Amino acid sequence: MFSGGQKFRALREQLGLTMRDVEGATTRIAVKHANDEFAVPPSRLSDIETKGVIPSIYRLYSLSVIYRRDIRELLSWYGVDLNAVTEDVGLAAPPKSHFMETLANVADVQVPVRLDPSFDSRQTSNIGRFVEQWGLVPLSYLAQFAGCDFTYGYVGSEDWTMYPILPPGTFVQVDESKDVVSAGGWRSEYERPIYFVETRQGHICSWCSLVGDELILQSHPLSPVPARVLKYPQEADVVGQVVGVAMRLGDWRPIDASPTTKERGALN
């Protein structure tokens, strides 16, 4: 298997470029961006090609431009696969709820491309047993199935507002077109709309009630988090309604029965 440096050299020779050609081109890029870090002198290029020296982010950008290759590919030569974000994002658990923007850098995903004909979506089943073939599919292809009004959020590891319906660590799909708080009409807590709300302190998933110019963020009855009342729309903005969730089950840990005085003050 060729190393990253060997691939750089093969690519340069394939394009008919000398080290001086590369130096001249990267120098022009450095001048344009007023940053000498973009320049790649012949001695440094030789180290990259023959001694395993890893190029800096600036030089990697310059080489991707000159060699006409996607910087994702160049990163993969050094073991950095941006598509692995989908697997690695779960290894970090920020305490506050937030928008998920990291996955915007993912170009391809592994998805089931063929299911067993006996699969019946009406029955609860182990999906893994019905997948006959997995395939790498470009996200640009999947975009045709996505609604433009959807955004995605993550319930922070310390956000117990909608526990146990939405425990910490839950990923949520939000329909931004449904940003008007419903006045009622649901028959159970499972039908009551949950909204993704942006406040001055961050984002929150909760039930909502609008009374005049006040937005009441209502927690689940089993949650230790008290209800909050914020001025609408000065202090809170309803991003949209939660229409889909993805969560892990079985990851139980105790929570405080009642927030401290300091925590209550921060929530109000």
In order of start, what are the domains of the chain with their CATH numbers? 4-76 (1.10.260.40), 150-267 (2.10.109.10)
Contact 230, 217 (CB under 8 A): yes
User: How much of the chain, in percent, has pLDDT values that exceed 90?
Assistant: 49
Q: What is the pLDDT of residues 86-120, one digit of tens each?
A: 678 778 878 887 777 766 666 665 666 566 777 66
The model's pTM is 0.56
Contact 154, 97 (CB under 8 A): yes
Average pLDDT score, the chain: 82
Q: What is the pLDDT of residues 121-147, one digit of tens each?
A: 555 445 555 566 666 555 545 554 555
- The number of CA neighbours under 13 Å toward the Cβ of 24 is 5
User: What's at 69, amino acid-wise?
Assistant: R
